Amino acid sequence: MRAFMVEKYGGQAGMRATGVPDPQVGAHDVLVRIHAAGVNPLDIRIRNGDFKAFLPYRLPLVLGNDLAGTVVRVGPSVTRFTVGDEVYARPEKDRIGTFAELLAVHQDDLAAKPATLTMTEAASLPLVALTAWQALVERAHVQPGQKVLVHAGAGGLGSIAVQLAKALGAHVATTVSTAKVDLVRELGADEVIDYRTQDFTEILDGYDVVLDSLGGENLAKSLRILKPGGQAISVAGPPDPAFARELGANPVLRLAMTALSFKTRRDAKRHGVTYSFLFMKAGGDQLRQLTTLIDAGKIRPVVDRVFPFDETLQAMEYVEKGRAKAGKVVVAML
């Protein structure tokens, strides 16, 4: 089969299209013929080797973290899917590889594709939708009437998190550039801060939850707008000790993560709030719950551009250079 493979870390030059053997299908696996795959900043960071300290992939590696497609074979112990089913997924982190024609995915990581979406639309969702769910539902336990700030509300993660927070009954604020104000209002944002002309710390206060996808100074400032007991959850901030434990990291790596996040955790404590780092996990059950919201019209995908599969490298460059105007970029088997 055709696939896009990382042969060495360090940038676009280390990745190429090639032919690889078809995947082996385990007893609990579902073989999916991929129709479309989402492109995420995570793909670029994995390609560049940013996570090799705690995600020690063996190179060469087929890249890609989102898929939508059709089941073409099932393992003997599979009970949830049959040949011909239309599915979508974010594979488990040790079994990524959606920039390919086929992928074997554990049945627990798959869900039936939302009936209201095309394959291309569905492929844009799993990673960002699961991230939003795990931040807002699983970790923050957002309740109706609470106040949630979602940074970068027009981005791949932000556009879904704004909608999910609204579906949970929260009052939702978000930060965007001037050109994207109308889009995030359409997605359900109650309060929109144009970061080009406004400082969100001068406008917002008393928030229960911040979902940060930018890190750095943006995360540091976010701690100041939370009410006592509030939570800052970041996918871009420094890894924390809880993540190190979850990962089963060795003592040296645990110490490093503790040191990296020390200042942020200290500052959070001074403000009477908490900070946590989130690295999302695959989960078919959570995807099924999200599918219910999607088919009910509570969450809709935002797709910026679709590239043909043969132009996967160009799609990654497009994402890496920040050319996407809103939502996700997808590659499709056109």
Domain boundaries, the chain: 2-125+302-332, 127-277
Which pLDDT tens digits describe the chain residue by residue (334 residues)? 999 999 999 988 999 999 999 999 999 999 999 999 999 999 999 999 998 887 879 999 999 999 999 999 999 999 999 999 999 999 999 999 999 999 999 999 999 999 999 999 999 999 999 999 999 999 999 999 999 999 999 999 999 999 999 999 999 999 999 999 999 999 999 999 999 999 999 999 999 999 999 999 999 999 999 999 999 999 999 999 998 888 888 888 889 889 999 999 999 999 999 999 999 999 999 999 999 999 999 999 999 999 999 999 999 999 999 999 999 999 999 7
Residue among 235, 240, 85, 109 at smallest CA distance from 160: 235
Residue among 164, 154, 173 at smallest CA distance from 134: 164
Q: 321: Cβ–Cβ under 8 A, 6 or more apart, which residues?
A: none
Q: 296: Cβ–Cβ under 8 A, 6 or more apart, which residues?
A: none
pLDDT at 53: 80
pLDDT at 247: 84
Q: How far apart are CA 318 and CA 125, in angstroms?
A: 18
Q: How far apart are CA 225 and CA 209, in angstroms?
A: 9
pLDDT at 130: 98
pLDDT at 167: 98
CATH of 2-125+302-332 among 2.40.50.100, 3.90.180.10, 3.40.50.300, 3.30.2130.10: 3.90.180.10
Q: How far apart are CA 21 and CA 100, in angstroms?
A: 11
Q: 6: Cβ–Cβ under 8 A, 6 or more apart, which residues?
A: 14, 15, 46, 47, 57, 59, 60, 61, 62, 63
Q: Which two tokens stand for residue 216?
A: 């750095």
Tens of pLDDT along 26-68? Answer: 999 999 999 999 999 999 999 999 988 878 799 999 999 999 9
> Mean pLDDT, the chain, as a whole number?
96
Domain 2-125+302-332 and domain 127-277 have a common topology: no
Q: 286: Cβ–Cβ under 8 A, 6 or more apart, which residues?
A: 130, 133, 134, 138
pLDDT at 52: 85
- Tell the CATH topology of 127-277: Rossmann fold (3.40.50)
pLDDT at 227: 98
Q: How far apart are CA 15 and CA 48, in angstroms?
A: 10
